[in-house]
Structure 1
Amino acid sequence: MTDTLTVQPELIRAKPEPERSVKRRSKGRAYPIFRVLMLTLTVVLFVAPLVWMVMASLKTNVDIYDPGKTFAFTPTLDNYINVLSRNNYFTFIFNSFWVALWSTIFSLILGVPAAYAMSRFTMHRSAMVVLMARIIPGVSLLVPWYFIFANLKMVGGFGVLILSHMFVALPLIVYIMISYFDSMPLELEEQAQVDGLTPIGAFLRISLPLSAPGLATAGILSFIFSWNNFMFALVLSGANTKTLPVAIFNFVSYASIDWGSLMSAAVVVTVPIMVIALFTQKYIVSGLTAGATKG
Protein backbone atom coordinates (compact mmCIF):
# COMPACT_ATOMS: atom_id res chain seq x y z
CA MET A 1 0.00 0.00 0.00
CA THR A 2 2.82 2.39 0.82
CA ASP A 3 4.44 1.80 -2.57
CA THR A 4 1.26 2.53 -4.45
CA LEU A 5 0.63 5.67 -2.42
CA THR A 6 4.10 7.03 -3.11
CA VAL A 7 3.96 6.24 -6.80
CA GLN A 8 0.50 7.65 -7.58
CA PRO A 9 1.31 11.37 -7.07
CA GLU A 10 4.16 11.07 -9.50
CA LEU A 11 1.92 9.46 -12.07
CA ILE A 12 -0.75 12.16 -11.81
CA ARG A 13 -0.27 14.83 -14.45
CA ALA A 14 -2.36 17.97 -15.00
CA LYS A 15 -4.48 17.73 -18.09
CA PRO A 16 -3.40 20.15 -20.76
CA GLU A 17 -5.86 23.02 -21.31
CA PRO A 18 -7.83 22.62 -24.54
CA GLU A 19 -6.51 24.68 -27.41
CA ARG A 20 -9.89 26.30 -28.12
CA SER A 21 -10.19 27.72 -24.61
CA VAL A 22 -6.71 29.21 -24.89
CA LYS A 23 -7.64 30.91 -28.16
CA ARG A 24 -10.85 32.24 -26.64
CA ARG A 25 -8.95 33.72 -23.69
CA SER A 26 -6.44 35.37 -25.97
CA LYS A 27 -9.23 36.81 -28.13
CA GLY A 28 -11.08 37.97 -25.04
CA ARG A 29 -7.99 39.84 -23.82
CA ALA A 30 -7.12 41.25 -27.24
CA TYR A 31 -10.54 42.82 -27.90
CA PRO A 32 -10.47 45.35 -24.99
CA ILE A 33 -6.93 46.35 -25.93
CA PHE A 34 -7.93 46.79 -29.57
CA ARG A 35 -10.99 48.82 -28.56
CA VAL A 36 -8.96 51.14 -26.33
CA LEU A 37 -6.38 51.66 -29.08
CA MET A 38 -9.03 52.46 -31.69
CA LEU A 39 -10.86 54.86 -29.36
CA THR A 40 -7.59 56.57 -28.47
CA LEU A 41 -6.62 56.88 -32.13
CA THR A 42 -10.03 58.31 -33.03
CA VAL A 43 -9.95 60.85 -30.21
CA VAL A 44 -6.43 61.93 -31.11
CA LEU A 45 -7.33 62.35 -34.80
CA PHE A 46 -10.32 64.55 -33.94
CA VAL A 47 -8.92 66.48 -30.98
CA ALA A 48 -5.36 67.13 -32.18
CA PRO A 49 -6.36 69.61 -34.94
CA LEU A 50 -8.59 71.50 -32.50
CA VAL A 51 -5.81 71.68 -29.90
CA TRP A 52 -3.34 72.91 -32.52
CA MET A 53 -5.87 75.50 -33.72
CA VAL A 54 -6.40 76.90 -30.21
CA MET A 55 -2.67 76.98 -29.46
CA ALA A 56 -1.89 78.65 -32.80
CA SER A 57 -4.51 81.30 -32.12
CA LEU A 58 -2.52 82.28 -29.01
CA LYS A 59 0.82 82.52 -30.82
CA THR A 60 2.49 85.02 -33.07
CA ASN A 61 3.23 84.02 -36.65
CA VAL A 62 6.91 83.66 -35.76
CA ASP A 63 6.10 81.21 -32.94
CA ILE A 64 3.79 79.21 -35.19
CA TYR A 65 6.61 78.57 -37.66
CA ASP A 66 9.07 77.69 -34.86
CA PRO A 67 8.97 73.91 -34.08
CA GLY A 68 10.67 74.54 -30.75
CA LYS A 69 7.69 76.55 -29.54
CA THR A 70 5.03 74.00 -30.29
CA PHE A 71 4.03 73.73 -26.63
CA ALA A 72 6.39 76.14 -24.83
CA PHE A 73 5.38 79.66 -25.89
CA THR A 74 4.14 82.93 -24.45
CA PRO A 75 0.37 83.27 -25.07
CA THR A 76 -0.94 86.48 -26.64
CA LEU A 77 -4.43 87.78 -27.35
CA ASP A 78 -3.38 90.06 -30.20
CA ASN A 79 -4.90 87.71 -32.78
CA TYR A 80 -8.33 87.83 -31.12
CA ILE A 81 -8.10 91.62 -30.78
CA ASN A 82 -7.24 91.82 -34.46
CA VAL A 83 -10.18 89.60 -35.42
CA LEU A 84 -12.90 90.96 -33.14
CA SER A 85 -11.99 94.65 -32.98
CA ARG A 86 -10.03 95.69 -36.03
CA ASN A 87 -11.77 93.47 -38.58
CA ASN A 88 -15.30 93.99 -37.20
CA TYR A 89 -16.05 90.28 -36.89
CA PHE A 90 -19.12 90.88 -34.75
CA THR A 91 -20.88 91.98 -37.95
CA PHE A 92 -19.92 88.73 -39.66
CA ILE A 93 -21.11 86.75 -36.63
CA PHE A 94 -24.48 88.50 -36.81
CA ASN A 95 -24.72 87.84 -40.56
CA SER A 96 -24.04 84.12 -40.09
CA PHE A 97 -26.54 83.89 -37.23
CA TRP A 98 -29.20 85.80 -39.17
CA VAL A 99 -28.89 83.68 -42.32
CA ALA A 100 -28.74 80.39 -40.39
CA LEU A 101 -31.73 81.32 -38.21
CA TRP A 102 -34.10 82.33 -40.99
CA SER A 103 -33.06 79.59 -43.39
CA THR A 104 -33.77 77.07 -40.62
CA ILE A 105 -37.15 78.63 -39.75
CA PHE A 106 -38.35 78.77 -43.36
CA SER A 107 -37.08 75.25 -44.02
CA LEU A 108 -38.99 73.94 -41.00
CA ILE A 109 -42.17 75.75 -42.08
CA LEU A 110 -41.99 74.19 -45.55
CA GLY A 111 -40.28 70.89 -44.77
CA VAL A 112 -42.33 69.56 -41.83
CA PRO A 113 -45.75 69.61 -43.60
CA ALA A 114 -44.11 68.19 -46.73
CA ALA A 115 -42.55 65.36 -44.72
CA TYR A 116 -45.89 64.67 -43.02
CA ALA A 117 -47.69 64.44 -46.38
CA MET A 118 -45.03 62.17 -47.85
CA SER A 119 -45.19 59.93 -44.79
CA ARG A 120 -48.99 59.64 -44.46
CA PHE A 121 -49.74 59.34 -48.18
CA THR A 122 -46.72 57.10 -48.94
CA MET A 123 -45.30 59.43 -51.56
CA HIS A 124 -42.17 57.40 -52.21
CA ARG A 125 -41.31 59.09 -55.49
CA SER A 126 -41.44 62.53 -53.91
CA ALA A 127 -39.25 61.30 -51.07
CA MET A 128 -36.78 59.97 -53.63
CA VAL A 129 -36.70 63.37 -55.36
CA VAL A 130 -35.92 65.01 -51.99
CA LEU A 131 -33.14 62.51 -51.43
CA MET A 132 -31.72 63.23 -54.89
CA ALA A 133 -31.77 66.96 -54.09
CA ARG A 134 -29.78 66.15 -50.96
CA ILE A 135 -27.20 64.20 -52.97
CA ILE A 136 -26.74 66.67 -55.85
CA PRO A 137 -23.56 68.75 -55.32
CA GLY A 138 -24.42 72.35 -54.60
CA VAL A 139 -21.54 73.60 -56.74
CA SER A 140 -23.37 72.36 -59.85
CA LEU A 141 -26.14 74.88 -59.16
CA LEU A 142 -24.00 77.91 -58.39
CA VAL A 143 -23.69 79.16 -61.97
CA PRO A 144 -27.43 78.99 -62.84
CA TRP A 145 -28.32 80.40 -59.43
CA TYR A 146 -25.94 83.30 -59.84
CA PHE A 147 -27.31 84.02 -63.33
CA ILE A 148 -30.93 83.96 -62.13
CA PHE A 149 -30.39 85.97 -58.96
CA ALA A 150 -28.16 88.48 -60.75
CA ASN A 151 -30.96 89.17 -63.24
CA LEU A 152 -33.35 89.57 -60.31
CA LYS A 153 -30.95 92.04 -58.65
CA MET A 154 -30.76 89.83 -55.53
CA VAL A 155 -27.06 88.99 -55.40
CA GLY A 156 -25.42 90.47 -52.31
CA GLY A 157 -28.53 90.49 -50.13
CA PHE A 158 -29.68 88.34 -47.25
CA GLY A 159 -32.58 86.92 -49.27
CA VAL A 160 -30.41 85.09 -51.76
CA LEU A 161 -28.26 83.65 -48.98
CA ILE A 162 -31.30 82.40 -47.07
CA LEU A 163 -32.74 80.80 -50.21
CA SER A 164 -29.44 79.15 -51.13
CA HIS A 165 -28.97 77.76 -47.61
CA MET A 166 -32.51 76.39 -47.72
CA PHE A 167 -31.34 74.17 -50.57
CA VAL A 168 -29.17 72.37 -48.01
CA ALA A 169 -31.52 72.60 -45.02
CA LEU A 170 -34.88 71.71 -46.62
CA PRO A 171 -34.00 68.21 -47.94
CA LEU A 172 -32.29 67.41 -44.64
CA ILE A 173 -35.34 68.41 -42.60
CA VAL A 174 -37.74 66.54 -44.89
CA TYR A 175 -35.67 63.37 -44.83
CA ILE A 176 -35.34 63.39 -41.01
CA MET A 177 -39.01 64.14 -40.42
CA ILE A 178 -40.29 61.52 -42.88
CA SER A 179 -38.68 58.75 -40.84
CA TYR A 180 -39.96 60.34 -37.63
CA PHE A 181 -43.57 60.60 -38.83
CA ASP A 182 -43.34 57.01 -40.08
CA SER A 183 -42.52 55.94 -36.54
CA MET A 184 -45.67 57.55 -35.08
CA PRO A 185 -48.80 55.34 -34.85
CA LEU A 186 -51.59 56.38 -37.19
CA GLU A 187 -54.21 55.36 -34.63
CA LEU A 188 -53.57 58.52 -32.60
CA GLU A 189 -54.62 60.74 -35.49
CA GLU A 190 -57.59 58.55 -36.34
CA GLN A 191 -58.79 58.77 -32.75
CA ALA A 192 -58.38 62.55 -32.81
CA GLN A 193 -60.48 62.75 -35.99
CA VAL A 194 -63.15 60.57 -34.40
CA ASP A 195 -63.26 63.08 -31.52
CA GLY A 196 -63.99 65.87 -33.99
CA LEU A 197 -60.64 67.20 -35.21
CA THR A 198 -59.98 67.76 -38.89
CA PRO A 199 -56.90 66.13 -40.48
CA ILE A 200 -55.06 69.46 -40.24
CA GLY A 201 -56.14 69.82 -36.61
CA ALA A 202 -54.91 66.32 -35.83
CA PHE A 203 -51.58 67.20 -37.42
CA LEU A 204 -51.24 70.46 -35.49
CA ARG A 205 -52.48 69.19 -32.12
CA ILE A 206 -51.32 65.56 -32.10
CA SER A 207 -48.56 64.78 -34.56
CA LEU A 208 -46.63 68.05 -34.39
CA PRO A 209 -46.24 68.16 -30.56
CA LEU A 210 -45.25 64.48 -30.50
CA SER A 211 -42.58 65.12 -33.12
CA ALA A 212 -40.79 67.75 -31.00
CA PRO A 213 -37.56 65.68 -30.65
CA GLY A 214 -37.44 65.24 -34.42
CA LEU A 215 -38.05 68.97 -34.94
CA ALA A 216 -35.23 69.79 -32.54
CA THR A 217 -32.90 67.39 -34.35
CA ALA A 218 -33.73 68.72 -37.80
CA GLY A 219 -33.56 72.35 -36.70
CA ILE A 220 -30.23 72.03 -34.91
CA LEU A 221 -28.56 70.16 -37.78
CA SER A 222 -29.98 72.64 -40.29
CA PHE A 223 -28.63 75.58 -38.28
CA ILE A 224 -25.18 73.98 -38.00
CA PHE A 225 -24.95 73.25 -41.73
CA SER A 226 -26.03 76.79 -42.56
CA TRP A 227 -23.57 78.29 -40.10
CA ASN A 228 -20.67 76.35 -41.64
CA ASN A 229 -21.67 76.89 -45.28
CA PHE A 230 -18.91 78.55 -47.27
CA MET A 231 -19.52 77.97 -50.97
CA PHE A 232 -22.88 79.70 -51.42
CA ALA A 233 -21.91 82.70 -49.31
CA LEU A 234 -18.61 83.10 -51.18
CA VAL A 235 -20.38 83.57 -54.52
CA LEU A 236 -23.72 85.13 -53.56
CA SER A 237 -22.91 87.39 -50.58
CA GLY A 238 -21.95 91.05 -50.68
CA ALA A 239 -19.70 93.30 -48.62
CA ASN A 240 -22.45 93.90 -46.02
CA THR A 241 -23.80 90.33 -45.95
CA LYS A 242 -20.54 88.42 -45.74
CA THR A 243 -20.70 85.48 -43.31
CA LEU A 244 -18.02 84.14 -40.98
CA PRO A 245 -16.65 81.33 -43.18
CA VAL A 246 -16.15 83.81 -46.03
CA ALA A 247 -14.63 86.45 -43.74
CA ILE A 248 -12.03 83.94 -42.57
CA PHE A 249 -10.87 83.63 -46.16
CA ASN A 250 -9.70 87.27 -46.01
CA PHE A 251 -6.66 86.22 -43.97
CA VAL A 252 -5.41 84.16 -46.91
CA SER A 253 -3.64 86.35 -49.46
CA TYR A 254 -1.59 85.67 -52.57
CA ALA A 255 1.76 86.35 -50.88
CA SER A 256 1.26 85.07 -47.33
CA ILE A 257 -1.16 83.70 -44.77
CA ASP A 258 -1.80 85.30 -41.39
CA TRP A 259 -1.95 82.02 -39.49
CA GLY A 260 -2.50 83.54 -36.06
CA SER A 261 -5.51 85.61 -37.08
CA LEU A 262 -6.77 82.77 -39.27
CA MET A 263 -6.74 80.33 -36.36
CA SER A 264 -8.34 82.80 -33.95
CA ALA A 265 -11.10 83.44 -36.49
CA ALA A 266 -11.54 79.67 -36.85
CA VAL A 267 -11.93 79.42 -33.07
CA VAL A 268 -14.59 82.14 -33.18
CA VAL A 269 -16.48 80.13 -35.82
CA THR A 270 -16.08 76.79 -34.04
CA VAL A 271 -16.90 77.72 -30.43
CA PRO A 272 -20.62 78.58 -30.94
CA ILE A 273 -21.23 75.34 -32.83
CA MET A 274 -19.41 73.29 -30.21
CA VAL A 275 -21.47 74.91 -27.44
CA ILE A 276 -24.70 74.21 -29.33
CA ALA A 277 -23.65 70.61 -29.96
CA LEU A 278 -22.72 70.03 -26.30
CA PHE A 279 -25.97 71.40 -24.89
CA THR A 280 -28.24 69.83 -27.50
CA GLN A 281 -26.57 66.48 -28.09
CA LYS A 282 -29.23 64.59 -26.15
CA TYR A 283 -31.96 66.06 -28.36
CA ILE A 284 -30.02 65.21 -31.51
CA VAL A 285 -29.36 61.63 -30.40
CA SER A 286 -32.91 61.04 -29.16
CA GLY A 287 -34.43 62.48 -32.32
CA LEU A 288 -32.25 60.45 -34.67
CA THR A 289 -32.58 57.19 -32.75
CA ALA A 290 -36.36 57.56 -32.34
CA GLY A 291 -36.85 57.96 -36.06
CA ALA A 292 -34.55 55.05 -36.74
CA THR A 293 -35.76 52.48 -34.23
CA LYS A 294 -39.50 53.00 -34.31
CA GLY A 295 -39.87 53.19 -38.07
Structure 2
Amino acid sequence: MAISLHTKRRIRRAVDKAALAVSVAVLLAPCLFVFFWMLSLSLKYDIDNTAWPPVFWPTEPTLENFAKVFEESPMFLYFWNSVQVTGSATLVALLLGVPAGYGIAKARAHKMAAVLLLSRMTPGLSYLIPLFTLFQVLGLIGTIWPIALTHMVITLPIVVWIMIGFFETQPHELEEAARIDGATLWQAFRYVALPLARPGIVVGAILAFISSWNNFIFGAVFAGRTTRTMPVAVYNMLTFESFAWGPLAAAAIIVMLPVIVLTIIIQKEIVQGLSAGGVK
Protein backbone atom coordinates (compact mmCIF):
# COMPACT_ATOMS: atom_id res chain seq x y z
CA MET A 1 0.00 0.00 0.00
CA ALA A 2 1.37 3.38 -1.01
CA ILE A 3 2.26 5.82 1.75
CA SER A 4 0.64 9.22 1.51
CA LEU A 5 2.70 12.40 1.24
CA HIS A 6 1.43 13.60 4.62
CA THR A 7 2.56 10.36 6.28
CA LYS A 8 5.97 10.63 4.65
CA ARG A 9 6.37 14.16 6.04
CA ARG A 10 5.38 13.02 9.52
CA ILE A 11 7.90 10.17 9.38
CA ARG A 12 10.58 12.55 8.15
CA ARG A 13 9.85 15.00 10.99
CA ALA A 14 10.00 12.16 13.53
CA VAL A 15 13.33 10.95 12.12
CA ASP A 16 14.72 14.50 12.18
CA LYS A 17 13.65 14.99 15.80
CA ALA A 18 15.15 11.64 16.79
CA ALA A 19 18.42 12.49 15.03
CA LEU A 20 18.52 15.88 16.75
CA ALA A 21 17.85 14.31 20.15
CA VAL A 22 20.62 11.75 19.63
CA SER A 23 23.06 14.47 18.50
CA VAL A 24 22.27 16.64 21.53
CA ALA A 25 22.64 13.63 23.84
CA VAL A 26 26.04 12.77 22.36
CA LEU A 27 27.26 16.37 22.69
CA LEU A 28 26.00 16.77 26.25
CA ALA A 29 27.03 13.32 27.50
CA PRO A 30 30.61 14.30 28.54
CA CYS A 31 29.40 17.42 30.41
CA LEU A 32 26.57 15.56 32.11
CA PHE A 33 28.87 12.71 33.10
CA VAL A 34 31.39 15.10 34.66
CA PHE A 35 28.62 16.91 36.56
CA PHE A 36 27.11 13.61 37.71
CA TRP A 37 30.48 12.33 38.88
CA MET A 38 31.22 15.57 40.74
CA LEU A 39 27.81 15.39 42.44
CA SER A 40 28.48 11.78 43.34
CA LEU A 41 31.86 12.67 44.89
CA SER A 42 30.27 15.42 46.98
CA LEU A 43 27.70 13.02 48.46
CA LYS A 44 30.08 10.16 49.33
CA TYR A 45 32.43 9.51 52.22
CA ASP A 46 36.18 9.52 51.60
CA ILE A 47 36.36 5.73 51.76
CA ASP A 48 33.88 5.48 48.87
CA ASN A 49 35.64 8.21 46.86
CA THR A 50 38.92 6.27 46.95
CA ALA A 51 37.42 2.80 46.55
CA TRP A 52 38.28 0.46 43.68
CA PRO A 53 36.29 -0.41 41.68
CA PRO A 54 34.69 3.04 41.82
CA VAL A 55 31.40 3.56 43.61
CA PHE A 56 29.28 5.44 41.07
CA TRP A 57 26.50 6.46 43.47
CA PRO A 58 26.48 6.34 47.26
CA THR A 59 24.14 3.92 48.97
CA GLU A 60 23.90 6.36 51.90
CA PRO A 61 24.34 9.95 50.62
CA THR A 62 25.83 12.41 53.09
CA LEU A 63 26.09 16.20 53.32
CA GLU A 64 29.20 15.98 55.45
CA ASN A 65 31.43 17.29 52.66
CA PHE A 66 29.31 20.44 52.27
CA ALA A 67 29.39 21.04 56.00
CA LYS A 68 33.16 20.56 55.98
CA VAL A 69 33.56 23.19 53.25
CA PHE A 70 31.76 25.83 55.33
CA GLU A 71 33.59 24.81 58.50
CA GLU A 72 37.10 25.04 57.02
CA SER A 73 36.68 28.20 54.93
CA PRO A 74 34.58 31.40 55.07
CA MET A 75 32.51 30.53 52.00
CA PHE A 76 29.91 33.20 52.74
CA LEU A 77 32.64 35.86 52.62
CA TYR A 78 33.96 34.47 49.34
CA PHE A 79 30.41 34.37 47.97
CA TRP A 80 29.91 38.03 48.88
CA ASN A 81 33.24 38.90 47.23
CA SER A 82 32.12 37.15 44.04
CA VAL A 83 28.80 38.98 44.12
CA GLN A 84 30.57 42.34 44.45
CA VAL A 85 33.08 41.62 41.70
CA THR A 86 30.68 40.02 39.25
CA GLY A 87 27.87 42.48 39.92
CA SER A 88 30.03 45.57 39.49
CA ALA A 89 31.81 44.20 36.40
CA THR A 90 28.51 43.23 34.76
CA LEU A 91 26.80 46.53 35.63
CA VAL A 92 29.65 48.68 34.33
CA ALA A 93 29.89 46.52 31.19
CA LEU A 94 26.20 47.15 30.50
CA LEU A 95 26.46 50.89 31.15
CA LEU A 96 29.41 51.22 28.78
CA GLY A 97 28.84 48.34 26.39
CA VAL A 98 25.25 49.01 25.32
CA PRO A 99 25.91 52.59 24.07
CA ALA A 100 29.22 51.44 22.57
CA GLY A 101 27.47 48.64 20.68
CA TYR A 102 24.86 51.10 19.43
CA GLY A 103 27.51 53.54 18.21
CA ILE A 104 29.55 50.86 16.45
CA ALA A 105 26.45 49.36 14.82
CA LYS A 106 25.10 52.69 13.55
CA ALA A 107 28.51 53.90 12.36
CA ARG A 108 29.14 50.52 10.70
CA ALA A 109 32.59 50.49 12.26
CA HIS A 110 33.30 46.87 11.42
CA LYS A 111 37.05 47.25 11.92
CA MET A 112 36.49 48.45 15.47
CA ALA A 113 34.21 45.48 16.07
CA ALA A 114 36.94 43.16 14.80
CA VAL A 115 39.47 44.76 17.14
CA LEU A 116 37.02 44.30 20.01
CA LEU A 117 36.58 40.63 19.16
CA LEU A 118 40.35 40.24 19.00
CA SER A 119 40.68 41.70 22.49
CA ARG A 120 38.10 39.18 23.71
CA MET A 121 40.01 36.30 22.15
CA THR A 122 43.31 37.37 23.72
CA PRO A 123 44.16 35.15 26.72
CA GLY A 124 43.75 36.80 30.09
CA LEU A 125 47.32 35.88 31.00
CA SER A 126 48.51 38.50 28.49
CA TYR A 127 47.15 41.26 30.71
CA LEU A 128 48.47 39.97 34.03
CA ILE A 129 51.98 41.42 34.14
CA PRO A 130 51.13 45.04 33.15
CA LEU A 131 47.99 45.05 35.30
CA PHE A 132 49.80 43.59 38.29
CA THR A 133 52.53 46.23 37.97
CA LEU A 134 49.92 49.00 37.73
CA PHE A 135 47.89 47.85 40.72
CA GLN A 136 51.01 47.23 42.77
CA VAL A 137 52.12 50.84 42.20
CA LEU A 138 48.63 52.04 43.18
CA GLY A 139 48.65 49.86 46.29
CA LEU A 140 45.47 47.99 45.33
CA ILE A 141 46.79 44.41 45.40
CA GLY A 142 44.75 42.36 47.85
CA THR A 143 41.58 44.45 47.52
CA ILE A 144 38.36 43.97 45.57
CA TRP A 145 39.04 46.84 43.15
CA PRO A 146 41.68 45.23 40.89
CA ILE A 147 39.60 42.07 40.51
CA ALA A 148 36.46 44.01 39.56
CA LEU A 149 38.36 46.23 37.12
CA THR A 150 40.13 43.33 35.43
CA HIS A 151 36.87 41.41 35.09
CA MET A 152 35.65 44.20 32.84
CA VAL A 153 38.28 42.99 30.36
CA ILE A 154 36.05 39.91 30.13
CA THR A 155 32.55 41.34 30.43
CA LEU A 156 32.78 44.52 28.35
CA PRO A 157 33.74 42.89 25.00
CA ILE A 158 30.98 40.30 25.45
CA VAL A 159 28.29 42.93 25.97
CA VAL A 160 29.52 45.16 23.14
CA TRP A 161 29.78 42.30 20.65
CA ILE A 162 26.28 41.02 21.43
CA MET A 163 24.73 44.48 21.31
CA ILE A 164 26.30 45.22 17.93
CA GLY A 165 24.39 42.28 16.47
CA PHE A 166 21.13 43.37 18.06
CA PHE A 167 21.31 47.00 17.01
CA GLU A 168 22.23 46.00 13.45
CA THR A 169 19.02 43.97 13.19
CA GLN A 170 16.77 46.84 14.26
CA PRO A 171 14.94 48.72 11.48
CA HIS A 172 16.55 52.11 10.90
CA GLU A 173 13.20 53.62 9.90
CA LEU A 174 12.02 53.79 13.51
CA GLU A 175 14.96 55.92 14.63
CA GLU A 176 14.79 58.05 11.49
CA ALA A 177 11.12 58.74 12.23
CA ALA A 178 12.02 59.78 15.77
CA ARG A 179 14.75 62.11 14.46
CA ILE A 180 12.31 63.67 11.99
CA ASP A 181 9.89 64.30 14.86
CA GLY A 182 12.60 66.31 16.61
CA ALA A 183 14.30 63.73 18.82
CA THR A 184 18.03 63.98 19.37
CA LEU A 185 20.36 61.07 18.73
CA TRP A 186 20.44 60.29 22.44
CA GLN A 187 16.64 60.42 22.70
CA ALA A 188 16.29 58.10 19.71
CA PHE A 189 18.65 55.68 21.42
CA ARG A 190 16.95 56.03 24.82
CA TYR A 191 13.31 55.79 23.78
CA VAL A 192 13.41 53.78 20.54
CA ALA A 193 16.50 51.57 20.21
CA LEU A 194 17.03 50.70 23.87
CA PRO A 195 13.57 49.20 24.59
CA LEU A 196 13.76 47.11 21.43
CA ALA A 197 17.17 45.78 22.47
CA ARG A 198 15.95 44.39 25.80
CA PRO A 199 16.49 40.71 24.77
CA GLY A 200 20.07 41.51 23.78
CA ILE A 201 20.72 43.33 27.04
CA VAL A 202 19.43 40.33 29.00
CA VAL A 203 21.61 37.89 27.04
CA GLY A 204 24.67 40.12 27.33
CA ALA A 205 24.16 40.51 31.07
CA ILE A 206 23.78 36.76 31.58
CA LEU A 207 26.83 35.80 29.53
CA ALA A 208 28.91 38.54 31.16
CA PHE A 209 27.78 37.39 34.61
CA ILE A 210 28.65 33.75 33.92
CA SER A 211 32.07 34.60 32.44
CA SER A 212 32.94 36.87 35.34
CA TRP A 213 31.66 34.50 38.02
CA ASN A 214 33.70 31.57 36.68
CA ASN A 215 36.92 33.52 36.12
CA PHE A 216 39.81 32.20 38.18
CA ILE A 217 43.10 33.69 37.04
CA PHE A 218 42.52 37.35 37.99
CA GLY A 219 41.18 36.46 41.43
CA ALA A 220 44.08 34.11 42.09
CA VAL A 221 46.67 36.82 41.30
CA PHE A 222 45.10 40.01 42.68
CA ALA A 223 43.07 38.77 45.67
CA GLY A 224 44.14 38.66 49.28
CA ARG A 225 43.13 36.24 52.02
CA THR A 226 39.85 38.07 52.68
CA THR A 227 39.07 39.13 49.09
CA ARG A 228 39.14 35.77 47.36
CA THR A 229 36.33 34.87 44.99
CA MET A 230 34.52 31.54 44.82
CA PRO A 231 36.67 29.87 42.11
CA VAL A 232 39.81 30.76 44.09
CA ALA A 233 38.19 29.27 47.20
CA VAL A 234 37.75 25.97 45.33
CA TYR A 235 41.40 26.02 44.33
CA ASN A 236 42.38 26.49 47.98
CA MET A 237 40.68 23.19 48.81
CA LEU A 238 43.61 21.43 47.12
CA THR A 239 46.51 20.41 49.35
CA PHE A 240 49.92 18.90 48.67
CA GLU A 241 49.45 16.13 51.23
CA SER A 242 46.29 14.56 49.84
CA PHE A 243 43.27 15.21 47.66
CA ALA A 244 40.04 15.61 49.62
CA TRP A 245 37.80 14.70 46.71
CA GLY A 246 34.56 15.04 48.65
CA PRO A 247 35.03 18.61 49.95
CA LEU A 248 36.61 19.65 46.65
CA ALA A 249 33.58 18.42 44.68
CA ALA A 250 31.22 19.98 47.22
CA ALA A 251 32.98 23.35 46.88
CA ALA A 252 32.72 23.10 43.08
CA ILE A 253 28.97 22.39 43.35
CA ILE A 254 28.54 25.43 45.60
CA VAL A 255 30.32 27.64 43.05
CA MET A 256 28.24 26.29 40.16
CA LEU A 257 24.90 26.50 41.98
CA PRO A 258 24.18 30.25 41.49
CA VAL A 259 24.93 30.05 37.76
CA ILE A 260 22.82 26.91 37.33
CA VAL A 261 19.86 28.42 39.20
CA LEU A 262 20.12 31.67 37.23
CA THR A 263 20.25 29.81 33.92
CA ILE A 264 17.24 27.65 34.78
CA ILE A 265 15.16 30.64 35.87
CA ILE A 266 15.78 32.77 32.79
CA GLN A 267 16.50 30.14 30.15
CA LYS A 268 13.55 31.38 28.06
CA GLU A 269 15.05 34.87 28.00
CA ILE A 270 18.37 33.43 26.83
CA VAL A 271 16.78 31.47 23.98
CA GLN A 272 14.59 34.36 22.87
CA GLY A 273 17.48 36.81 23.03
CA LEU A 274 19.88 34.63 21.07
CA SER A 275 17.19 33.87 18.48
CA ALA A 276 16.32 37.56 18.08
CA GLY A 277 19.95 38.54 17.68
CA GLY A 278 20.61 35.86 15.09
CA VAL A 279 17.94 37.06 12.64
CA LYS A 280 19.05 39.64 10.08
Structure 2-normalised TM-score? 0.90
2:38 corresponds to? 53
Greater shift in the superposed pair: 99-108 or 28-37: 28-37
1:184 positional shift: 0.5
**Structure ID, larger Rg:** 1
Distance in 2 between residues matched to 1:195 and 1:99, nearest whole Å: 42
Distance in 2 between residues matched to 1:99 and 1:159, nearest whole Å: 8
Determine which of 228, 238, 252 is the counterpart of 2:238. 252
For 1:97, the aligned partner's letter is: V
Q: Root-mean-square deviation (CA), in Å? A: 2.0
1:210-233 C-alpha deviation (Å, 9 max, x unpaired): 111000000011001000000111
For 1:47, the aligned partner's letter is: L
1:149 positional shift: 0.9
For 1:275, the aligned partner's letter is: V
1:88 positional shift: 1.7
Structure 1-normalised TM-score? 0.86
Relative to structure 1, the CA distance from residue 128 to residue 43 in structure 2 (aligned partners, 3 Å threshold; closer, same or farther) is closer
5+ residue gaps, structure 2 = 1-11
1:49-84 C-alpha deviation (Å, 9 max, x unpaired): 111111110112211011353324322211111112
Distance in 2 between residues matched to 1:246 and 1:146, nearest whole Å: 17
Report the number of matched residues: 268
Identity %: 37
Greater shift in the superposed pair: 175-184 or 249-258: 249-258
Task: Tell me whether 1:293 sits opposite 2:271 in the alignment.
Answer: no
1:93-242 maps to which residues of 2 (within 5 A)?
93-242=79-228
Name the SS for the 1:69 alignment partner: coil
Determine which of 57, 63, 72 is the counterpart of 1:71. 57
Distance in 1 between residues matched to 2:240 and 2:255, nearest whole Å: 23
2:27 corresponds to? 42
Runs of 4+ in 1 over 6 A off after TM superposition: 27-33
1:100-159 C-alpha deviation (Å, 9 max, x unpaired): 111000011111111111111111221121111111111111111111111111111111
Q: Is the 8 A contact 1:64 1:70 kept in 2?
A: no
